Structure 1
Amino acid sequence: MKIGLIVNPIAGMGGRVALKGTDGVVEEAIKRGARPVTPELARLFLKELEGYGVNVEFLTGPGPLGEDILKEFHFPYHVLRHRDIKWRNIMGVKIPDTTAEDTKFLAKQMLDKVMLIVFAGGDGTARDIAEVVGKKVPILGIPTGVKMFSGVFATSPEDAAKVLAEFTKGNAKIEERAVMDLDEDSYRRDELKARKFYDVLTPIVESLVQGSKEAVKIDEEEELEALTEAVAEDILLEDGIYFLGAGSTIKRIKDKIGIQGTLLGVDVVEVKDGKARLLVKDASESDLLKFLHKNPKIVVTVIGGLNFLFGRGNQQFSPEVLRKIPKENIIVVATQSKIRDGIVRVYTGDKNVDSKFKGYIKIRVSPWMEKLVKVI
């Protein structure tokens, strides 16, 4: 079976350095200490896939667009060599001159040649491919970006390999899924502008492919207001350092404790004698690492539809950060609808850190109630 593989080699670089994405800001990301993350996650996908003994041949792009990684494995592949990829050196980091046009070109060339296009990237990459392929061929995302709000992504690179293996056996359902994207310039200005761009076809194996991000329902507003008010009051009662995560639920808490925090970033706050003080606004991974010796607490929510605590849109909470924070120091706040599936997900790319969260975690769902929810 012929399968397309497109790798966006710069996807995800903006996450840990608080840039919310990578489109148009690669140099700034590197200046802040970012390094490529997609190649290693694509390797995890192929390494897992080797264990399933699938009979596939890949069509891929030249160099960093897929060829370089496939060379390391034993899968047969053919390169759609449309141009020579050049490299540039930015502060000692080698970055290819790949663009969205490379992704679109490869997707177009694969259209009538493959049964499925697998891509490594985020929502922007999904959108580029969907623009070309529509519903003509299914697509499946290896999650390597920052946001990944679209419903075409496997829950991890390893799960993407499982989905592909089941697809080759005819065991995956083909469903219509939404490709979502945010305007990244607005995103960095703390404005949430998201919409559905395309409907595409995606192979689905239950629990291995995420949904798409959901908005808060209007009839939950009163419930959410009471919940965030209660959590804010509890925070102000206990002195210490808090890492307050991203999203509209946590932004309500930030407002209620009296800080001008970000909607879409992580903020570092100190609470003392019942008052909150903003120490770092829109913190990066390196900012968080500076406060680990003060035994901080993390306050996060579940991303509606995606069921993620860590690994989507909050990569500042990196394995190095989470490794040193006790599980009991993580406060999770969510309305009942966000956890209706009875599970939440953590995927940091570090198996030891992910295993720390496996089992059950308490989630505050109302001013007076917590629920134990399974972490997978």
Structure 2
Amino acid sequence: MTKQFKLGLIINPVAGLGGSVGLKGSDNVTEEALALGAEPKSHKRTQAALEVLLPYKEQIQIFTPSGKMGQTLAEEMGFSTEVVLTVGENTSPADTELTVKTLIEQGVDLILFAGGDGTARNVCSAVSDNTTVLGIPAGCKIHSGVYAITPKAAGRVVEMLINGELVTLSDADVMDIDESAFREGVVKAKRYGEMQVPSELRYVQAVKSGGKETDELVLADLSAYVVSEMEDDEYYVMGSGSTVAAIMDEMGLENTLLGVDVVLDQDVIAADCTAQQLIDLTKGKPTKIVITLIGGQGHIFGRGNQQLSPELIRQVGKENIIVVATKRKLQALNGRPLICDTGDSVLDDELSGFIKVVTGYNDHVMYAVGLEEEK
């Protein structure tokens, strides 16, 4: 007889509740969100994941809390279900944490949980090092690498495990932002730990892989990291391009897509600046330049950001240049170096060599910077 797969299931009933009504999260705003007409989404998203597993019902035993934290849905869908914890109508993070501990005691093969970054933090605070988990994305904020790309993708990963397919396990970051600050337009993302996840790259949010299917998620994590590293009282010259625009969007700021803006304390203090304005504004001030690849040839200076003049670059210093790009964009260069074409050949030569490129959350690669290719 085939051994049953012991699946731990946790649903955060209020995950994502604030997103549709513009509250930018669900932390501490449940009543307000419901009053504004928000509808819980975690139930449906969990259902989408479990539907993938319906052909395997006879092989699965679900261990879960009572009611809307898992029991109701699992039983409605016909799964063999065991309640491990009785919870009240108004659930709390403490219920999630206690459930995780109970599921570990039950020896489940995998803990599948539905929620957002706040839920991931709750699970992380109670999980053990050798426990495998996987998140069903159901929250407003999904910066953590412990989530599947979609609810169905989460089901696919569990299906692979049930079928005995080889699935690599790896540690993934748990991250979150301060929702209260976010509602005031300030983004501060922090890393809260890591959890062991099945890292099947087709289905799991591999924020460091740069794969085609995860570009949007990679960009979100890259942006969250750059914003989390921003210092108070420091000027940030934000260059052109969609990757830099994503960082501006992460801060909730208007962006000049084809221009250059200046940010101080996560606020735009000058938009669409000229080269001279940038020099005058940042002279004698702690400043960093944030740039990305412009065009298919890999230009970081001299294409679409001519406002970043040689004088400004020298004033800021090479050590204060932050280059951001997804690994997919770098791979598209097929090994060609990044290009500097500032109009100052001496400066172009000084900028050549290797530079650190931010490719994800606390994820970097070293990449060559060379002179413009010979024609």
Q: TM-score range by the shorter chain?
A: 0.5 to 0.7
Tell me the CA shift for residue 251 of structure 1.
3.6
Q: Does 1:78 align with 2:82?
A: yes
Q: Distance in 2 between matches of 1:230 and 1:204?
A: 28
Pairwise mapping of residues 52-131 of structure 1 onto structure 2 (< 5 A)? Answer: 55-83=59-87, 85-86=88-89, 97-113=90-106, 114-131=108-125
Shift of 1:337: 2.2
Inter-partner Cα distance in structure 1 for 2:166 and 2:20: 36
Q: 1:248 to 1:24 in 2, by over 3 A?
A: closer
Q: Is the 8 A contact 2:171 2:197 kept in 1?
A: yes
Contact 1:150 1:211 (8 Å CA) reproduced: no
CA RMSD of aligned residues (A): 3.8
CA distance in 2, matches of 1:182, 1:230: 19
> Which structure 2 residues correspond to residues 1-376 of structure 1 after superposition, within 5 A?
1-51=5-55, 55-83=59-87, 85-86=88-89, 97-113=90-106, 114-168=108-162, 169-212=164-207, 213-214=221-222, 215-216=225-226, 225-227=239-241, 246-248=249-251, 251-253=254-256, 336-337=325-326, 339-340=328-329
In 2, Cα distance between equivalents of 1:229 and 1:249 = 14
Displacement of 1:108 in angstroms is: 0.6
CA positional deviation for 1:107 = 0.4
The Cα shift of 1:342 comes to: 8.4
Contact 1:12 1:144 in 2 (8 A): yes
- What is the rounded CA distance, in whole Å, between the counterparts of 1:223 and 1:336 in structure 2? 16
Q: Secondary structure at the match of 1:177?
A: strand
**Larger RCO (alpha carbons 8 Å, 6+ apart):** 1
When normalised by structure 1's length, the TM-score is 0.58
Question: Cα gap change, 1:341/1:82 in structure 2, threshold over 3 Å: closer, same or farther?
Answer: farther
CA change 1:109–1:53 in 2 (3 A) is: closer
- Give the Cα–Cα distance (whole angstroms) in 2 for the partners of residues 29 and 16 of structure 1: 9
Of all paired residues, the percent bearing the same amino acid is 30
Name which of structure 1's ranges 45-54 and 162-171 shifts more when overlaid on structure 2.
Answer: 45-54
Code of the residue aligned with 2:34 in structure 1: it is I
Cα deviation code 1:284-313 (max 9, x no counterpart): xxxxxxxxxxxxxxxxxxxxxxxxxxxxxx
Which SS does the other structure have where 1:41 is aligned?
helix
Alpha-carbon spacing, 1:230–1:122, altered in 2? closer, same or farther (3 Å): closer
Q: Secondary structure at the match of 1:119?
A: strand
Distance 1:181 1:21 in 2: 11
How many angstroms apart in 2 are the aligned matches of 1:248 and 1:228?
Answer: 14
Which residues of structure 1 form unaligned runs of 5+? 87-96, 232-244, 265-334, 344-376
When residues 4 and 222 of structure 1 are mapped into structure 2, their CA distance, relative to the original with a 3 A threshold, is same
Q: Which amino acid aligns with 1:180?
A: M
* Structure 2: distance between partners of 1:341 and 1:58: 43
1:134 and 1:199 in contact (8 A); partners too:
no
Gaps (5+ residues) in structure 2?
A: 208-220, 230-234, 268-323, 333-375
CA distance in 1, matches of 2:183, 2:159: 37
